[in-house]
Structure 1
Amino acid sequence: MQNFDFYNPTKILFGEGKIETITEEIPDDAKVLMTYGGGSIKRNGIYEQVTEALVDFEVVEFGGIPPNPEYEVLLEALDVIKDENIDFILAVGGGSVIDGTKFLSAAALYDGNEPWELLSDPIRVEEGLPFGTVLTLPATASEMNSGAVVSREETKEKLAMGGPGLFPKFSVLDPTAVRTIPERQLANGITDAFTHVLEQYMTYPAGGHLQDRFAESIMQTLIELAPKIMEDPSDYEAASNFMWSCTMALNGLIQKGVPTDWAVHAMGHELTALYGIDHARTLAIIAPRHYEENFGHKKEKLAQYGERVWNITEGDTDTKATKAIEKTESFFHSLNIDTKLSDYTDDYEGTAQIIAERFKERGWTGLGEHKELGPDQVKTIVEKSY
């Protein structure tokens, strides 16, 4: 197992009714900016719970943060922060709202030329404006990590940022929020969390036995819960385990001491930037083809995954590994997640070349756990994903 440092200061407030306790976590004299998305929180009762909890605070609202938080929209919110002298942000939403809020946290204290530099350079964020979250859509674990991804329509880019200054001070995880989530978003959340685990697990054996078991247990839990939560999102036990599995999938714990990949995300982000495809669905498009193209490097872990997660017990390593990829793609299909780019756009021809050229321009010539995956191989993987 590799050496590691583990740091995660985010306080988790888990369970029904926990929203009312946020007053204990926000400084008494704070002027709060409440950020949220398209307005679903005003239909499911969460908005009322949050505003009631914040009744003794001075609160400014900024709604309309879109899925795949858009840079230009976030700049409008940044103006509000500066004009209103905001000193605490409360993100009420899913990963997009929380990621957008993390950008705002960093940008509020950034003294460079343009806030986009936080993503394009990228710049490690050591300090940000303090913020907390109320999670409404389990998927990304942004509520308990220090990473974020922001899109820019003008340049058709979707880039990542992060640093220890971007951990939420606290996050509320109330499983009752799950009961009003549409089926498509539930499927996205399951797929997103599942693929997050794969990115930290599907590499090569590195002696991280406990980390492997952590990862496998999260994937097994998601597989077991998927039909239950899709059929009845009001099932509190299922919703609780779904929500916590999504958080545990990317709160930093399971990646410590082991190699990680993240090439699937790098390619998937480009599909979202180019075509607006839901993030989770881009991962489902890329992951199976990525594992096939890098079969030689990954087959031992693929076979282990097949045995432990999918109970594939017959055949040699290559056979188990191949079946494991098939099982993974079938799992996505069971959630009504299509796994070909052509299922989402008719304009897919040339996509692989565009992405490969972007990676060359950015100097992304050594992706994956071995730092060997270059633009030419990326081009092949994306082409096979058509």
Structure 2
Amino acid sequence: MINFEYYNPAKIIFGKGVENGVGREVAKYGKRVLLHYGGGSIKRNGLYDRVVTSLKAEGLYVAELGGVQPNPRLSLVRKGVEICRENRIDFILAVGGGSTIDSSKAIAAAMRCKDDIWDYYLYDDKPIEGALPVGVVLTIPAAGSESSDSSVITNEDGNYKRYIGGECLIPKFAFMNPEVTFTMPPHQIANGCSDIVAHLMERYFTRVKHVDFTDRLIEGAIRTILYHGPMALENPTDYDVRAEIMWAGTVAHNNLLNTGRIGDWASHDIEHELSAQYDIAHGAGLSIVFPAWMKYVYKTDIDKFVQFAVRVFDVSLAFDDPEKIVFEMIARLESWYRKMGLPTRLSDVGIGEEHLREMAEKCLAERDGRNGLGNFRALHVEDIYRIYKLAL
């Protein structure tokens, strides 16, 4: 286990009806609020009205910006910055899932950074200089952005998808009511569960030894999603099932499970190019990329993969060949993805070979190509290209 510091100040307010108190919490940090959200679902299910009523009850000034899309766009971030400056906004409230929260964080950072916000996403060595405070009313359990220190944005000019990180991006609070997820379409629940599992696997596959405590925490969290994910599709209004998924999604990405270890994150970067190029859902891209990544890198530390197979997927050690154990695990993972209605091949979503080389090269663009991508095994352009080919 390596040395670590853990800090996460995000206040979690969890349970039925908690969003009715959001105004009181916002008032602790600001008086002029940008309410940022996606499409019309929060208006159809009444959440918008409850949030606005709570904000108005505290005498807060509210400006609005809707229209956040999956794979949130830089152009909308720039529009949000204009609104914040025109209205002297001092707090941003994200009502939505990971895309809305990431867009809110980008706007918040742009308001405090002296250079163009995209420069901070594009270059790894350019730390952000601060951000307006952000709060969250979570509607989609998936990305974990409600208490993470990162934001991912897509620049439509060139189809680049990049991230920034910093403690100032951790939301001040997150209101989390599993009831607001009842009306989510099945594909959103499936993509969300895929994203949660991916966040956990990115942390799990580490070269750091003697991290058994966090290994077992991650294993338990993954098993929770594997068990409850299909139940959420079968019983959309089961509060307890949705609560398990929502809380697991937060813990999966609040950096608690990073402690003492170094995760990989190559699969996320590989998927970012995929969803930037084709605008597919992040969770669907991950269900395609992760099995291919596993097939390509497992020999780097086959014992870690065998441990994962046995502890998470109950693969029997009666398989006398470690490689058979690993490939049985991958088959079971892919079977779970398909049970959730997710793709496991690029061909499942109509993607062919046309842009594979281009995406592989973009993965390392503006990065130090000598070091490669990922921490479990350093991947270079040819490695990434072969993973894309395996995913066909």
Q: TM-score range by the shorter chain?
A: over 0.9
Check conservation: 1:205, 1:301, Cα contact below 8 A.
Answer: no
Structure 2 residue 165 is matched with structure 1 residue 162: yes
Match of 1:75 among 74, 78, 92: 78
SS of residue in 2 equivalent to 1:142: coil
SS of the residue corresponding to residue 16 of structure 2 reads: coil
What pairs with 1:109-258 in structure 2 (closer than 5 Å)? 109-112=112-115, 114-122=116-124, 123-204=126-207, 206-258=209-261
Q: Which runs of 4+ in 1 moved over 4 A?
A: none
Question: Structure 1: how far apart are the matches of 2:24 and 2:346?
Answer: 47
Q: Contact 1:300–1:321 (CA<8 Å) still a contact in 2? A: no
Alpha-carbon distance in structure 1 between the residues aligned to 2:332 and 2:165: 33
- Identify the match of residue 387 of structure 2 among 377, 381, 384: 381
Alpha-carbon displacement from aligned partner over 1:149-203 (angstroms, at most 9, x marks no partner): 0001121111111111100000011110111110010000111101110111023
* Gap change, CA 1:208 and 1:360, over 3 Å in 2: closer
Count of equivalent residues: 384
1:367 paired residue number? 373
CA contact (8 A) 1:206 1:259 kept: no
SS in 1 for 2:63: strand
Structure 1 residue 32: Cα displacement? 0.7
Structure 2 counterpart of 1:349, from 350, 353, 370: 353
Partner secondary structure for residue 201 of structure 2: helix
* Alpha-carbon distance in structure 1 between the residues aligned to 2:373 and 2:196: 21
Q: For residues 35-72 of structure 1, what are the alpha-carbon distances to aligned partners after superposition, in whole Å with 9 as ceiling and x for unaligned?
A: 00012100111111101111121111111111111001
SS at match of 1:74: helix
Change (3 A) 1:298 1:44: farther
- For residues 58 and 144 of structure 1, do their structure 2 counterparts lie closer, same or farther at Cα, with a shift above 3 Å needed? same
Q: Is the 8 A contact 1:46 1:177 kept in 2?
A: yes
Q: Which amino acid aligns with 1:282?
A: G
Cα shift readout 1:256-279 (whole Å, capped 9, x = no counterpart): 111211010011000011111110
1:321 to 2:321 alignment: no
Q: Which amino acid aligns with 1:4?
A: F
Q: Residue 339 of structure 2: which of 330, 334, 338 is its match?
A: 334
Cα deviations across residues 5-49 of structure 1 (Å, max 9, x unaligned)?
111110000011111222332236611110000121001111111
1:364–1:384 distance in 2 versus 1, CA, 3 Å: farther
Q: Is the 8 A contact 2:15 2:178 kept in 1?
A: yes
Deviation for aligned residue 1:204: 4.1
TM-score, scaled to structure 2? 0.95
Report the CA distance between 1:98 and its aligned residue: 0.2
What SS class does the counterpart of residue 7 from structure 1 fall into? coil
Shift in Å at residue 371 of structure 1?
A: 5.5
Two-structure CA RMSD over aligned residues (Å): 1.4
1:96-141 deviations in Å (ceiling 9; x for gaps): 00000000010011111x2211201243235210110000000000
Question: Conserved in 1, the CA contact under 8 Å of 2:205 and 2:376?
Answer: no
Seen in structure 2, the aligned counterparts of structure 1 residues 360 and 138 have a Cα distance that, compared at 3 Å, is closer
The secondary structure found in structure 2 opposite 1:180 is coil
For 2:101, the equivalent position in structure 1 comes to: 98
**Deviation at residue 372 of structure 1 after TM alignment:** 2.0
- Structure 1 unmatched runs, 5+: none
Give TM-score, length-normalised by structure 1.
0.96
**Aligned partners of 1:285 and 1:198: how far apart in 2?**
14
Residue in structure 2 matched with residue 280 of structure 1 by the alignment: 283
Question: Counterpart of 1:143 in 2: which secondary structure?
Answer: coil
In structure 1, give the amino acid aligned to 2:355: T
User: Percent sequence identity over matched residues?
Assistant: 35
Number of the residue aligned with 1:53? 54
